[in-house]
Amino acid sequence: MENDNYQITFAKNKKILMSSIKIIKIGGNIIDNPAKLNQFLVDFGKLDGQKILIHGGGKIATEMAETLGIKAQMIDGKRVTDAETLKIVTMVYAGLINKNIVAQLQALQCNAIGLTGADANIISATKRKDEKVDWGFVGDIESVNVHDLKLFLNNGLIPVLCALTHDGNGNLLNTNADTIAASLASAMAADGNEVHSVYCFEKKGVLHDVNDDNSLIKTINQEKYVALKASGIVNKGMIPKLDNAFKSIAEGVKEVKICMAEDLSDFQNAGTTISK
């Protein structure tokens, strides 16, 4: 078994824990499937060393909004987070989903602690400013509190973050879970940690043919990425994911993987690896 932590004694009675940290993000499709989610949490629980889980929202918030008769305001196909939508998102992401994941991980002897960006001021953000459109309570990340994340990790706690940040003025803000995962990874890397980012979704990784799981592209570097975009093989929702991934690598994250949630237990050998 790999030992992920290296204790470096650099002064008498003072030790610094240099850590390898795994930052795993799961999307809504797993949240929406209790059996898949349970297996994923079993696999997550078994991963060695320090780790952080970041989860998206799934369909539950949308369904809840519909049931409560709150109409989605859409601009250019994107949802606006108005005050009522923020309430739903806070209930579903930070309450229902986050706390059930935490309770399930606890049952797997995984000492999880569920957090929004407001808790312990883990992620502060600013309300998105857009001259043309008011996106409502949407937050762009300003800073990540590495100090307290490491306090938790170094004391055996496993942070489980949902897609909410805060503005420091009392407002919670909706923030994309991929962006949260990438910001945490960069902040942890800048702090000198060896960071492995894993983005789990419903496909085997980045595919040549989106309908063929056997067409996995095992590695993508910057040069190949330009070609894949030019040829249209990589398009739509995969572009922001890969942009995020290359940004992480540029900012010192050791490894970025995009893989299927079911492959988490062997993620080193699965999915698409992003490299310089």
Which 3 state secondary structure label does DSSP give 33?
coil
Q: Which is nearer to a second copy, 168 or 240 (CB)?
A: 168
Distances (CA, A) of 249 to 49, 216, 233: 21, 21, 22
Size of the site for a second copy (CB under 8 A): 40
Q: Which of 42, 113, 210, 233 binds a second copy (CB under 8 A)?
A: 113
**Smallest distance from the beta carbon of 73 to a second copy, in angstroms?**
20
Integer angstrom CA distances of residue 23 from 95, 98, 138: 21, 16, 23
Residue labelled with tokens 């990874």: 185
x/- track of binding to a second copy for residues 231-270 (CB under 8 A): ----------------------------------------
Binding a second copy (rule: CB under 8 A), the pick from 26, 123, 172, 220 is: 172
* DSSP structure class, residue 216: B
CA-closest candidate to residue 160, choices 45, 243, 264: 45
Element (H, E) at 151: helix 146-154
Cβ contacts of 131 within 8 Å, gap of 6 or more: none
**Position 214 contacts a second copy (CB under 8 A):** no
Q: Which of 31, 115, 242, 259 binds a second copy (CB under 8 A)?
A: 115
Contact 31/207 with Cβ under 8 angstroms?
no
Binders of a second copy among residues 68 to 107 (CB under 8 A) are: 68, 87, 90-96, 98-100, 102-104, 106-107
Report the site for a second copy in 6-45 (rule: CB under 8 A).
13
User: Applying CB under 8 A, which of residues 33, 39, 171, 268 lies at the interface with a second copy?
Assistant: 171
Euclidean distance between CA atoms 208 and 222, whole angstroms: 16
What distance separates the 2 farthest-apart alpha carbons in the chain?
Answer: 63
CA distance 219 to 205: 10
Identity of the residue, 37 or 245, whose beta carbon is nearer to a second copy in the bound complex: 37
Smallest distance from a second copy to CB 170, Å: 4
> At 153, is the secondary structure helix, strand, or coil?
helix
Nearer to a second copy, 128 or 247 (CB): 128
Q: Which of 23, 30, 118, 256 binds a second copy (CB under 8 A)?
A: 118
Among positions 77, 170, 232, 237, the unique one binding a second copy when judged by CB under 8 A? 170
Query: Which residues contact a second copy by CB under 8 A?
Result: 13, 67-68, 87, 90-96, 98-100, 102-104, 106-107, 111-116, 118-121, 148, 151, 155, 157, 164, 166, 168-172
